[in-house]
Structure 1
Amino acid sequence: MDFDDLPETLREFGSIAIIILALLTFDFFNTNPNYFWIVLAVVIIGSGIYFYYKNIQPYRNRKTTKINKKDKSNTLTSERIGKRITNEFVNELRILLSAFRPVPQKKYNESAFEAQLYQTLNQAYKTRNIAYQSSAKSGRVDLVIDNRWAIELKLASSKKQLDIAFRQFLKYAEEFEYLFVLVHDTNKKLQKSDITGLSNDFKKIGLTNIEFIIVNW
């Protein structure tokens, strides 16, 4: 109900009451001037706090949120760029390893093949750090590039020989970003299904950063 809807007598009474209250308040502060300044200070401080939380704080929160979103966006962009560069290098390295052909040997010599592959990598990636017979936490790795990508060369005549080295490959794959296993099929009896099965065994335990390349030199 609005003030205008009240009976005239009540409106007059209300007006008189407001005037009396105003006079009493004025008389109180006139008699006790210190209280006036205290009440005024409380009103000003309270108004300032109300204005801050109603207007300034929401704006600061919005600004902080925008900055956080921008930082997150920049981080995601950097991660995407880094991942793309890594994928490009892995693809490039895959092509190089598949095309690698060592100097023919009268007798298969894994160490000689490793040394030749090391020279090939040094010529192809002169600006990268390529370690030969690198000591790692998981053991001695044939070749490691920039402490990130590992290459293990194996001479195998059967899948059983690769199965025996499963634990060794597992440790390398857990330590490095990507592991290439370059397998020379000495008897030309390894089947594609053998390698697929071995790769699937690693995928089952969550390792997708290991790749087998079968070659016949």
Structure 2
Amino acid sequence: MVLKVDVDKFVIRHQYDATDNIRNLMRLKGTILPRTFRCSELWIAVFIHYLLFFIRAYSSCPPDNASCVTAGDLYKRHLLNLSDTTSLTTLVVFFLVFYNGNCFQRFISLYLLVNTAGGQLHSASLFLRDYFEDPLSRWQVMRYMLASHRIFFYVMRKQVAEWYGFAEGSAMHPGSWDDFAETSLIPLGLLMKEETEWLREYGANKHKPCLSWSAAALKRIIDQHSDHPKTGYLFEGAQP
């Protein structure tokens, strides 16, 4: 296999800086605002609000029409009492407190799991870099892990897009498996074309065979470097 990337420079270049408070407060990327601004319901609600406001503020009747009623008069005639909003208040409290709180807890759980997975990948890469000197041997293990990570989130995005009714080719759909392989797996050297073709026909979770391939690659380089003092120390307790 010919690597198409420099494995020694395969690093994350853009990271979240927890100490840069001003930039974090001003940034929009990674927040809910970009997705909110793309929501058509938001702008429809704003338009209706201002439309009703201008109708109420500037509607008038001809002087010679005594039976005419302005929008402001209609508004005053149909003022709501506080008791009329009891059901609405109950629903608002339910959604704001209980439902949104439950959704937030689920988000936090998913966020922690995703960060844990990323941290495990970093730890594995550091161990491999420390215990094995051959870059190609290290990459044979890591590329399958990284491919599994990418495939997992590709499948999640694809399922969500199809659940919402987005077809292939739309901005919200990640595309077909072949498109994903040609743009995100093969160019980065994560998988070979033959491996992506095998995974395309694989019926179950496509990210799991990559983990098996990574374990097999790790076993091969352990066998090749079994006489290395660091390798023997690291994996001595794992031997049957």
**Which one has the bigger helix percentage?**
2
Q: Same fold (TM over 0.5)?
A: no
TM-score (norm 1): 0.28
* Greater C-alpha radius of gyration: 1
